[in-house]
Amino acid sequence: MNWRRFFHRARRDAELASDIQLYLDAETEENVARGMPRDLARERALRKFGNTTLIREEVYRMHGLRFLETLWQDGFYALRMMRRKPIFTVTVAATLALGIGANAAVFGIVQAVLLQPLPYKNPSRLVAIWDKNVRDSGISKMFDSFQDFREVAQHAGSFEEVAAATWAVSGRLLSGHGFTRGVLAMPVSGSFFPLLGIAPALGRTFGTGDSQRGCSAVLSDRLWRRQLAADPNIIGNSVTLDDQVCTVIGVMPPGFAFYPDAAELWILLTPGFSPPPDQLPIGIFARLRPGISITQAQAEVSALHAAVHRNDGKERDFVPTVHNLQEEFTFLADASLATTLWVLLGAVTFVLLIACLNIANLLLGQAVAREHELALRAALGCGRRRLLRQLLTEGLLLASIGGALGVGVAFAAIRYLRAVQPVEMPIGAHVEINWLVLAFTAAVSVLTALLFGLLPAWKASRLDAIESLKTGGRGGVSNRPRRLTQALIAGEMALSLVLLVGAGLLMESVLNMDHEPLGFRPEGLAVTAVTLPANHYPDAASRLQFYDRMVSLLGDHTAALTTGLPPYVSASSVMHISNQPVSPESDRHDVGERTVSPEYFEVLRVRLLRGRTFNAHDRESSEPVAVINDAIAREYFAGEDPIGKRICIDDPGEKNPWRTIVGVVADEKSSRNFQIGWVERGNVFKPLAQDPPRSVSVVVRAAGADLQHRIANIDEGVAIGDTEMMEARFGRLLAYPRFRAVLLGAFAGFSLLLAAIGLYGVLGQFVAQRTQEIGVRMAVGATPVDVVRFIGLQAAYPVIGGLAAGLLGAEAAVRYMGTLLYGVRPTDPRTLSIVSIALIVVAGLATLLPARRAARVDPLVALRNE
């Protein structure tokens, strides 16, 4: 298509339509002057030239084409200007692409994690009910009892449906199809799948009659494909779960998941379930009735809890809390995930703001260089609005190019995050570039164009055309809006400092975690899990015999067994102390509990502080004994020797005998519940020979040991987990805080680079515009040192102003990051000092080159040019 011919014809037709409209108006007024009513006068005028609607549409069409023509002209001219300055165009487009792309990528993650609804029925009304330990000052979300579930399901009117599910049970052994392997079989109530509203891909979910039958199982798509070879005839067949035969009644569709994602099989909680449902810790999940808020449901559940537990003491120790299910899934993935995402979104917004301020400064400089051109256009009749539109069109075109490239940056960043997987994503979160992310990118691009383009365009459109033409384009130099550019540089410095402070605090937190002594030696430790089949090892003697043989085969002094390993050890058991004169309110001590073999302390290199550890004489027939760590000794036996004291875990009885403390060992660091950092929790160690469990973790101080093969040689029917190194366990715990710190550090470094480039560019333009003034100063006696001092003062004002504003902003911003820090205060003076000095040094380097260029100005050449 010949665009010139098209627009020429459009302009000609528009002029014709305008003439038609003028003729109609004149004919109408002439008829009115003759005494004819206006409506009739208009009608007679229209009869001469046709239908009014058609004429109006033609006029509007032609005016629209005229607008498109001018818009095309502006865009075409903007492209020509960009081609004249390719380095400037590429620099601005690349800066915008990184800033907009980072915003789009982080927004994509925020949208997937925090804004995208869960893939269930009516997800906004789904809630989780946890017990909160009132004696725990930190974050504590605990399972409820099955009795609580029954009471809520029967008497709480705030919910449409209530279901129970728990993952607080040990793994099960799945056999009957292929090799024996451990699976996480999640016990759920019959209302679990109807609550979520997800239909199975094959078969059905639990029905009312299943509770009276034997074991029924629903499989995940992952287990069905991996273990059962996607057998389409699996419905009605059976699998063996431990020593229990379960009938497969359904297979869930691909992508279905409920926390935790490791669950591969769901079994029905029946009255004959083992252990009995009344002994199981249960998670309660429900759907609110329409119009019922979480606050109303919380009040009802609290009142119900108080009535049920009025006489058993649970009312005093625990309170039920109702939470939005999506927020809970985000919390369970990582307690700081939501805070981290908002911090990162704020960080990339700061980076984009700095980029906009930087580009605005560059465009202000470009506007000064184009004063003669703009003045000439204004003198030829181009109005201020026309100039403003032209300059904004140039900015919008730059932002559009940056936005298009930013989509590619965002796509690459999201693909990288999927591959690296620095943190477990919540259930239902699928990060992708969808229409919402694209719409966000487009909106950010337009807003960016306005941010960096409006101020320079407004300043340039206010020029004095006559004065600029008189001076040949040089008169505008002295009118350079220096205060405005300094204010923009100060803003860049302030935003950069806020990001630098946040990144510095996160990095210091990671260093504190990485270098803190753990209380044992993880180097060279290989770990795997072993679960014994219940039908082959039904009693303590048979299990102990297998464990003794396994330790002997792996090496008496290099292998150990335990039911729990740091850093994932929680304090959830209750310790009673014999003959301790304490009040009933404090007669409950939350501690961790582990069963270990005698070699445990030697293999992990845990120091013995007092007494002894376990030995071959601590068997089932001997006196029950225990070893405690120093945290328990400090808290509960301060000022006295704990050796010989008697303690009991949970309620005393045949299964929980009173144990005599025989030793005290050093503390091992464990992770904080749902928070960054280490804690030293109280731990009670029991000898494995006195109560051998079915499942243990095997620890061998031999990197690269083929544990699976060596253990399988003893009994192929034993379920053996994957082998991993202990350092990898701790590395995984540190991976997310380290990635978060590095990412924010990269954003902060990029923002500082942009601020330094902006300062360098402004000072370079200042030196170029003040060359004659500098020459005059040197001609009348100023030395190069004086000139350097003069340029340095131009940089000092925005840098010091930005530093002061940034410190104030950082103090307010980093308080929001308190849950992301460990071992450092948000107002840590060392971090604030280091980043402030770093900013001043970078600003000094950015000032050095323009200052040297100014000091080398030849006054004779400068005055001759003047």
What pLDDT shows up at residue 584?
41
What pLDDT shows up at residue 477?
42
Number of Cα atoms under 13 Å in the Cβ half of residue 589: 24
What pLDDT shows up at residue 467?
53
What pLDDT shows up at residue 263?
85
With a CB cutoff of 8 Å and minimum separation 6, the contacts of 331 are 141, 323, 337, 338, 674
Q: Which of 126-130, 572-576, 628-632, 688-692 has the lowest mean pLDDT?
A: 572-576
DSSP E strands: which ranges in 134-197?
144-145, 159-165, 172-175, 181-188
Q: Is residue 725's pLDDT more than 50?
A: yes
pTM for the whole structure: 0.75
- 724 pLDDT band, cuts 50/70/90, is confident
Tokens of 586: 């404090």
Spatial separation of the C-alpha atoms in residues 256 and 320, rounded to whole Å: 28
Q: Which single residue is written with the structure tokens 């403390």?
A: 661
Range 626-633 average pLDDT: 91
What percent of the chain is predicted at pLDDT more than 70? 80
Tokens of 568: 């994932």
Q: Which single residue is written with the structure tokens 């730059």?
A: 398
Give pLDDT tens digits for 549-605: 888 888 767 889 998 888 876 656 778 888 765 444 444 567 888 899 999 999 999
What pLDDT shows up at residue 583?
40
Range 826-845 average pLDDT: 89
Give pLDDT tens digits for 701-717: 875 557 777 887 888 77
- 384 pLDDT band, cuts 50/70/90, is low
Average pLDDT value for the chain: 79
Give pLDDT tens digits for 119-166: 899 999 999 998 887 665 555 677 888 888 888 888 888 999 999 998
Give pLDDT tens digits for 752-789: 888 888 888 778 777 777 777 777 777 777 788 888 88
What pLDDT shows up at residue 708?
76
Provide the 8-state DSSP code for 85: -
Phi, psi of 156 (to 5 degrees): -85, 115
Alpha helix positions (H), 591-725? 600-603, 630-636, 707-712
Q: Is residue 463's pLDDT more than 60?
A: no
Spatial separation of the C-alpha atoms in residues 459 and 360, rounded to whole Å: 11
What percent of the chain is predicted at pLDDT more than 90? 12
What pLDDT shows up at residue 455?
64
Residue pair 320/149 in contact (Cβ under 8 Å)? The answer is no
What pLDDT shows up at residue 427?
81
What pLDDT shows up at residue 570?
60
Q: Which of 9-23, 346-360, 363-377, 802-816 has the lowest mean pLDDT?
A: 9-23
What pLDDT shows up at residue 581?
52
Which range in 69-73, 78-82, 707-711 is most confidently predicted, on average pLDDT? 707-711
What pLDDT shows up at residue 585?
43
Spatial separation of the C-alpha atoms in residues 351 and 174, rounded to whole Å: 52
Q: Tell me whether strands 215-219 and 263-268 are parallel, antiparallel or unpaired.
A: antiparallel
Give pLDDT tens digits for 213-244: 778 899 999 888 888 888 888 898 888 887 78
Spatial separation of the C-alpha atoms in residues 51 and 46, rounded to whole Å: 6
Three-state secondary structure call for residue 491: helix
